[in-house]
Amino acid sequence: MNQQEWRAAFKQENGREPSFDEFKMAKEQGFPTPIVNYDAMPDGVQEQSAAMPARQQVKKAKKKKGKLVFIIIILSLAAGYFYGAHYYSYSESLDRATVTLQDRDSDQLKKVAVWASSNKSLSSKEASTLADDLKDADYSKSKIRSLLDDSNSDLTLKKVGQKFVIFPDYKVVLSSSYKDRTSGDSSSSDSDSDSSSSSKDSSDELDNVDTDISGSDITSTVSDMEQAVNEDSHVDGDTKDNSNSELSLIFEKGKKNKAYTTMIKLLQDGKKVAIDGRTPDAVGFSNYAAKDYKQTGKLTADANFEVVVESDYLPSGDVHTSGSVVQTYLVKSKMKYDASSGRWLIVSIDPNLQKTDEKNGVN
Say whether domain 205-360 belongs to CATH 3.10.450.
yes
pLDDT score recorded for residue 173: 92
User: How do residues 35-83 score in pLDDT, each as one tens digit?
Assistant: 654 445 555 545 555 455 666 677 777 778 888 899 999 999 999 999 9
Give CATH 3.10.450 domain extents, the chain: 205-360
pLDDT at 197: 41
**Is the pTM here over 0.85, yes or no?**
no
Give a three-class secondary structure readout of the chain: CCHHHHHHHHHHHHCCCCCHHHHHHHHHCCCCCCCCCHHHCCHHHHHHHHHHHHHHHHHHHHHHHHHHHHHHHHHHHHHHHHHHHHHCCHHHHHHHHHHHHHHCCHHHHHHHEEECCCCCECCHHHHHHHHHHHHHHCCCHHHHHHHHCCCCCCEEEEEEEEECCCEEEEEEEECHHHHHHHCCCHHHHHHHHHHHHHHHHCHHHHCCCCCCCCHHHHHHHHHHHHHHHHHHHCCCCCCCCCCHHHHCCCECCHHHCHHHHHHHHHHHHHCCCCECCECCCEEEEEEEEEEEEEECCCCEEEEEEEEEEEEEECCECCECCCEEEEEEEEEEEEEEEECCCCEEEEEEECCCCEEEEEEECCC
Q: Summarize pLDDT for 274-331 with one digit per residue, the tens.
A: 787 788 888 988 888 888 888 888 888 999 999 999 999 888 766 667 889 999 999 9
Q: In the prediction, which pLDDT does 196 show?
A: 43
Average pLDDT over every residue of 85-108: 93
Q: Which pLDDT belongs to residue 329? A: 94
Q: Which residue has the higher pLDDT, 12 or 233?
A: 12
Q: According to the model, what pLDDT value does residue 308 have?
A: 92
pLDDT tens profile 151-203: 877 889 999 999 988 999 999 998 866 665 545 443 333 444 444 444 444 44
Least confident of 118-127, 189-198, 240-249, 300-309: 189-198
